[in-house]
Amino acid sequence: MVGARFLLFCSACLLAGESEARRYKPTPPPPTVEELSEILKMAYEAYTMKAIESTTGDEVAALKSRVATLARQLVMQQLFVEERVRSDGDSGIKQVRHHFEGTRPYHAASHTGNTFASMHDHANNIRTVGLGEFIAVLNGVEFRTRHNDYGLRMPSTTSSTYHEVEDIPFPDVPPEVLQHHDVAGQITELREWFKAWKKRDRSERDYRKYFKPVLCYLEGAWTFSDKLEESFASDRHFLDAASWFDLQEKVRYTSYSGGKSNLENFSYLPTTIMNMINGTLPQIAQWNYRVLCHPLKRDLPVNRFRVVDDLMARMAKKKTLKEYVTTRAARFTLNPFDTDEWVDGRKNYGLVDDLMAEIPGKDNYGAELYDDAFDAVAYPYNSTDNTKKLNVGFYHRWVRVGSRDAMGRTERHRGFADQNVFMARTTQPNVAGVEVNVCKGWRRNRCTLYNQKWTYAIPLEVVYMTPLLKWNPYEIQYKGDKSSTLARTVTAGGRWGSSRDSARALNGTNSKRFYQTPHEFFGGNEQGRSSADTVKGKAGVLDRAGRLHVVKASGTRIVLPYIPGVGSLRTRYPIMPVHGEGSAVWKELEALKDIVLSPVENAHMFHENWRDDTSEGVVLLTGKAKGDEHVHRVVLSADDVGMLKLGRTVLVESGEAKGHYHEVKIRVRANGRFVMVRCDGARNCADGHGRSLTVAPPEDVDVANDGMI
């Protein structure tokens, strides 16, 4: 019925336009909005009563074709926009709100400024993690968030209900701390646990059960939602609109006028025509996003993080790299090799892939979905025998398929050239899907219909939950959510947290006033405070017996205040990728930055050769294959050789021989011999090359032509 009305209305407009085009009239004054609305209403009513009687079947078919063509063009226009964004960069953050500027371009913020991604602290809230507005891209869809301030929550572990979540359990306090019956003794012991975590020393205190890493992520999807939907809860912010249309109009107005929502509660979330039902009824999809977290199953040592040297932020702040790493502006990257020592080099599937693989899509943790589109079954990237399919209901970006593609490869990355995007399949009715009919055979009569729904994600940050979230040595009563009747007694009667007047001290704590850590535990003030922070330096709180205690906030911070004997420890490590890093210009600038900032290490990149020839790469030869006895050259760069000398493995492609090549993983044995530990993901090459590799003799070394000898 709706499709018929849509067709009839469009047909009326088209007929009216064709009729007017046949005769000339002077341009009339523009109608008012009320007049235009009445004209359209009359035209629609007139057409619904008479158009069918006066329109032939051929005309209806022609009008239907025109409407379908226009709608199809809108679909393709949206695809064009997304493809253009995809080619400009990768999934990631693009820009934060502009707050300051100066004489140089880098004085203004980009993806970072005073803080990366507008991060800040709300440590007075029990679960809130401070995160402001930013513009981001997920799989080519560009959008702008509201002020986020997300909570430490995870997808439901017991339900597959759409957007069902649950609170992440806080880690316990070590029993060795609680066995002390005095607060001073507990403070001393807990400091030792923080020191063990900082030094990664498990010899006397195994900190791993009490310092828990949580991976938080940004997820986006095209959804079907008639009503405005808050896809994730915030204790402080919400979409300030009555409907999707109302939100769009508010964003249009603020973009036009240059204004903003004072509470930063507007988001730019695009819409698209996802499909045309029967060629006439547009199926509108609404983009939406959420920020959610997942408690990692493993320990994640803090030495797995390395600061990214964003020179524009460092220059604006005049910071050395050592100074910059302690600021809120810093962002980090994870060591893909998952080792204590950092080595730069190529690595496909890495540590971040292992961590994101623990996170489910919108079907939650019970998801069990597979992907066999285009007859290419997806297997785990590290699979050696392709016997177990990859559960694509969890976030991933690298897969392996059973047959080689046109480039001779079996490994695949989601997307065309987006190194950051992770994808997960879902069955949720609320998520918009796309279908394609693939027909094969010389008559194209063997057809398979694929209908799938996908969501997209990127890692946002790693938050370390510490025993401070549960440690309550004064046994102060926690009275629950701030809006409950009991929780309101915390501030009833003008109580604001005075540390000297019991009548003005907080009467217990609640979700918004979460102060229970003894003030003496820390030896300093809050680190790097910003105007967005809401935490007090200290507060007075009454225990159950009405005694006044001076305490500090116990929620999540970017950097903890100074702890005597330990130092200032970071508990939030932002690892969100940057959209621009995927562009050719950014990659070229990163290469130039490495050369300029590390001239000795990269001396070979200068036109004048500064490095000894002994540090160059090497050319290896495989053993002879069975049957035709062909061999392949394997060219190792100087960086590859350097990694092998450190005991690592390197993954490289051999030269082509007999119309094929191999993807080989190489290691150096203690005796200095090179060996293949993997060939095309298997233990041995399928065509029988031996595992031993030999160094090519000088007369056979021709790096420019690394093919068959």
Beta strands in 386-533 (DSSP E): 398-400, 411-413, 422-426, 434-440, 446-465, 515-518
Any domain includes 561: no
Output the six-digit token pair for 369.
């979905």
Residues 395-412 as b or e (16 or more Cβ within 10 Å = b):
bbbbbbbeeeeeeeebbb
Neighbours of 486 (CB within 10 A): 13
Taking only the tens place, the pLDDT of each residue in 182-191 is 999 999 999 9
Binned at pLDDT 50, 70 and 90, residue 370 comes out as: very high
Residue 4 pLDDT exceeds 50: no
125 contacts: CB under 8 Å, gap ≥ 6: 235, 236, 511, 512, 514, 534, 555
DSSP assignment of 311-324 equals HHHHHHHT--HHHH
Q: How far apart are CA 564 and CA 522, in angstroms?
A: 7
Please check whether residues 545 and 631 belong to one and the same domain.
Answer: no
Question: Would you say residue 560 lies in a domain?
Answer: no
Q: Is the pLDDT of residue 483 over 80?
A: yes
Report pLDDT for 188: 97
- At 706 the pLDDT is 39
Same domain? 122 vs 260: yes
- Residue 23: its pLDDT value, please? 45
Residue 302 has pLDDT above 60, yes or no: yes
Distance CA 254, CA 629 (A): 70
pLDDT category of residue 35 using cuts at 50, 70 and 90: low
Q: Which class for 377: exposed (0-12), middle (13-18), buried (19 or more C-beta within 10 A)?
A: middle
Residues 247 and 191 in one domain: no
Which residues partner with 425 through β-bridges? Answer: 454
Residue 291 has pLDDT above 60, yes or no: yes
Average of per-residue pLDDT across 575-595 = 94
Residue 641's Cβ-count burial label (10 Å; 0-12, 13-18, 19+) is: middle
| pLDDT at residue number 155 | 97
- Alpha-carbon distance of 258 to 267, in angstroms, equals 15
Count of domains observed in the chain: 6
* Residue where a domain terminates, one of 61, 88, 115: 88
Q: Within a domain: residue 312? A: yes
- Band (pLDDT 50/70/90 cuts) for residue 33 is very low
Please say whether the beta carbons of 631 and 662 come within 8 A: no
> In terms of domains, do 100 and 247 share one?
yes
251 and 203 in a common domain: no
Number of C-beta neighbours around residue 295 at 10 A: 16
Expressed as residue numbers, the domain containing 531 is 472-553
The neighbour count for residue 272, using CB atoms within 10 Å, is 21
- Specify whether the CB–CB gap between 421 and 138 falls below 8 A: yes
Asked whether residue 558 is domain-assigned, the answer is no
pLDDT computed for residue 34 by the predictor: 52
Pairwise pLDDT comparison (160 vs 613), residue with the higher score: 160
Nearest to 268 by CA among 248, 284, 298, 253: 248
Evaluate whether 271 touches 286 at the Cβ level (below 8 Å): yes
Average pLDDT of the residues in 131-159: 93
Q: What is the DSSP string of 551-575?
A: EEE-S--SBPPPBTTTB--B-EEE-
CA distance 655 to 540: 71
- What does the alpha-carbon distance between residue 135 and residue 369 come to, in Å, rounded to a whole number? 31
User: Are residues 334 and 412 both part of a single domain?
Assistant: yes
Q: How far apart are CA 181 and CA 187, in angstroms?
A: 11
pLDDT greater at residue 8 or residue 626 = 626
User: Rounded to whole angstroms, how far apart are CA atoms 98 and 133?
Assistant: 10
- Split at pLDDT 50, 70, 90, the class of 21 is very low
Cα–Cα distance, 233 to 119 (Å, whole number): 17
User: In which band, very low, low, confident or very high, does the pLDDT at 521 lie, cut at 50, 70 and 90?
Assistant: very high
Please say which residue of 72, 88, 104 terminates a domain: 88
Q: Are residues 269 and 186 in the same domain?
A: no
pLDDT grade, residue 24 (50/70/90)? very low
Top-confidence range, 28-42, 428-442, 595-609: 428-442
DSSP 233-271: --SS-----SSHHHHHHHHHHHHHHS---TT----B--E
Instruction: Please indicate, yes or no, if residue 559 is contained in any of the structural domains.
Output: no
515 lies in a domain?
yes
The answer to the question of residue 603 being in a domain is: yes
Across the range 485-513, mean pLDDT stands at 94
Radius of gyration of the chain measured on its C-alpha atoms: 31
- From 75-79, 229-233, 517-521, the region with the lowest mean pLDDT: 229-233
Label residue 50 by pLDDT band (50, 70, 90): low
**Distance of alpha carbon 216 from alpha carbon 232, whole angstroms:** 13
- Residue-wise pLDDT for 687-697, tens only, equals 889 889 998 88
Nearest C-alpha neighbor of 420 from the set 392, 472, 389, 457: 457
pLDDT at 42: 60
From CA 133, how far away is CA 333, in angstroms rounded? 21
Q: Pick left, alpha or beta for residue 571 (phi over 0 → left; psi -120 to 50 → alpha; otherwise beta).
A: alpha
**524 and 428 share one domain:** no
Tell whether 307 is covered by a domain: yes
Convert the pLDDT of each residue in 317-330 to its tens digit: 899 999 999 999 99
- The model's pLDDT over 587-603, given as tens digits with 9 standing for 90+, comes to 999 999 999 998 877 77
Fill in the DSSP letter of residue 578: B
Whether residue 421 sits in one domain with residue 504: no
What would the two tokens of residue 513 be? 């006033």
Same domain, 405 and 500: no
> Are both 282 and 373 inside the same structural domain?
yes
Residues 271 and 134 in one domain: yes
Q: Of 88, 111, 134, at which residue does a domain stop? A: 88
